[in-house]
Structure 1
Amino acid sequence: MLSKLMDFLSACWRRRSSDRKSSDVSGKKEGLLWYKDAGQHLFGDYSMAVVQANNLLEDQSQIESGPLSFLDTGPYGTFVGVYDGHGGPETSRFVCDHLFQHLKRFATEHKSMSVEVIRKAYQATEEGFLGVVTKQWPINPQIAAVGSCCLVGVICGGSLYIANLGDSRAVLGRVVRATGEVLAIQLSPEHNVAIESVRQEMHSLHPDDPKIVVLKHNVWRVKGLIQVSPSVGSPFRATDNQL
């Protein structure tokens, strides 16, 4: 299972431009840990690690660097996606296969990168997965219970775009020149009903449902099922994509 993930990550890390190449493309494996100490993208270096915590790996991730549209004129940049699945791997795999392609399609239409392009890519991915759920429901009703957080960062044209559904975090490290310390700055809000403000928002959006959020086994959950809301594949969307 982990070897399949490594093959997938290696494919994601192949650069689209030929002027620079990442060293050690396949990364290294130690038990259930996979890591890559250093690689290159259009704007610098990166490192990445994956630890398999469950028997079935429900999460996916990808890095794409190069053209962010289907046009030769660009835009060019780097796309990073982290998809934390829950209830099964189907949603995170679907997001990994489709979100970036939708982003390239809308960037081609708009001939640029923007918040609207990313928002449309999220919406198209969500609608696509709900279509899968509709088709598979008669033979696989469990498909309606799976979902995935979806955290994306895009570097393009001197700007950093962050989009998030769920409770994953985008964190920026900023060096304090005077001391050399690195400050961690959270860039994305979390959508988890363990947070009181999120619970209040859920109640305000569903005033006729007193059980929209319930405390189950000392954990707040939407309908007693999941903690994150919204997320791709989740039946209860509290807010629009947070960009």
Structure 2
Amino acid sequence: MWPWLEKIASACWDRVRRYAPTSTRRDEDGGSGSGADADDLLLWSRDLGRHAAGDFSFAVVQANEVLEDYSQVETGAAATFVGVYDGHGGAEASRFISNHLSAHLVRLAQESGAVSENVVRNAFSATEEGFLSLVRRTHLIKPSIAAIGSCCLVGVIWRKTLYLANLGDSRAVVGCLVGSNKIVAEQLTRDHNASIEEVRQELKSLHPDDSQIVVLKNGVWRIKGIIQVYR
């Protein structure tokens, strides 16, 4: 077993932490997220923490009345996992991803002996199938769960390699220093959003008999006239 995987499997990672921010959220040590205005319940942040490749910090601004998003950082001596899950229609999907995706990644990495593109892809697939199974079991008592989803943006740093994966239109960027004092954001992931012509063409090719698969509504392209995000 790889040393960092052993740390994960034995829960010896400094799990920093599975964030489930709400308007009343507090850090696991009992303190409020630092760096935010204590009177602003829709904003919280966490000061710098350590991971295998350097420092990290988190900041969240709540846009909706009900926060449907989850995020997490799992870090150890040789590896770091970061996940951002933008919920839609409710928090059940993003919560499920937060509770299961990293565990699937650990299990599959243990089985293969390394982190790889296939390991990350298979962890996504296992998480999706798990949530679909939950929907099948519970939709009769909670029909709304069948209309709940989440974007999923993940970064894994292992052996000085960054693996990125996303479904939906959350975006990963990297700051590049240009000259001596200017930082430019370089996009690393591809958005899955109906506002993009390539996405609309893909949807139309997948659903040739559905003339309403993408609809221009109030100047915005939406899938079935409802939502912009794809995948």
- Tell me if TM exceeds 0.5: yes
**Counterpart amino acid of 1:37?**
D
**Counterpart amino acid of 2:208?**
P
Unaligned regions of 5+ residues in structure 1, if any?
12-23, 68-75, 231-243
Sort the Cα spacing of 1:221 and 1:155 in 2 relative to 1 into closer, same or farther, 3 A.
same
Q: How does 1:137-176 map to 2 (within 5 A)?
A: 137-176=139-178
CA distance in 2, matches of 1:138, 1:221: 28
Partners of 1:25 and 1:39 within 8 A in 2: no
Query: Percent same amino acid among aligned pairs?
Result: 56
Partner of 1:210: 211
**Counterpart amino acid of 1:184?**
A
Partners of 1:95 and 1:125 within 8 A in 2: yes
Partner of 1:20: none
CA distance in 2, matches of 1:163, 1:228: 16
Partner of 1:52: 62
Deviations 1:194-224 (A, max 9, x none): 1111101111112122221122333222122
Q: Does 1:27 align with 2:48?
A: no
Partners of 1:61 and 1:96 within 8 A in 2: yes
Q: What value does the CA root-mean-square deviation take over the aligned residues?
A: 1.9
Equivalent of 2:71, from 58, 61, 76?
61
**Counterpart amino acid of 1:3?**
T
Partners of 1:172 and 1:186 within 8 A in 2: yes
CA distance in 1, matches of 2:209, 2:109: 39
Deviations 1:2-40 (A, max 9, x none): 334x34xx48xxxxxxxxxxxx98632422211123111
CA distance in 2, matches of 1:132, 1:63: 25
Sort the Cα spacing of 1:25 and 1:163 in 2 relative to 1 into closer, same or farther, 3 A.
farther
Partner of 2:52: 42
**Alpha-carbon offset, residue 43 of structure 1:** 1.0
**Counterpart amino acid of 1:226?**
I
Partner of 2:229: 228
Partner of 1:96: 98
Paired positions, count: 206
Partners of 1:59 and 1:83 within 8 A in 2: yes
**Alpha-carbon offset, residue 174 of structure 1:** 1.5
CA distance in 2, matches of 1:222, 1:136: 26
TM-score norm. by structure 2 comes to 0.83
Sort the Cα spacing of 1:26 and 1:44 in 2 relative to 1 into closer, same or farther, 3 A.
farther
Partner of 1:3: 24
Partner of 1:81: 83
Partner of 2:6: none
Sort the Cα spacing of 1:49 and 1:133 in 2 relative to 1 into closer, same or farther, 3 A.
same
TM-score norm. by structure 1 comes to 0.79
Answer with 203-212 or 41-50: which moved more.
203-212
CA distance in 2, matches of 1:36, 1:109: 34
Partners of 1:137 and 1:144 within 8 A in 2: yes
State the 4+ residue runs in structure 1 displaced beyond 2 angstroms. 1-4, 24-27, 215-219
Partner of 2:135: 133
Sort the Cα spacing of 1:54 and 1:80 in 2 relative to 1 into closer, same or farther, 3 A.
same
**Alpha-carbon offset, residue 161 of structure 1:** 0.7
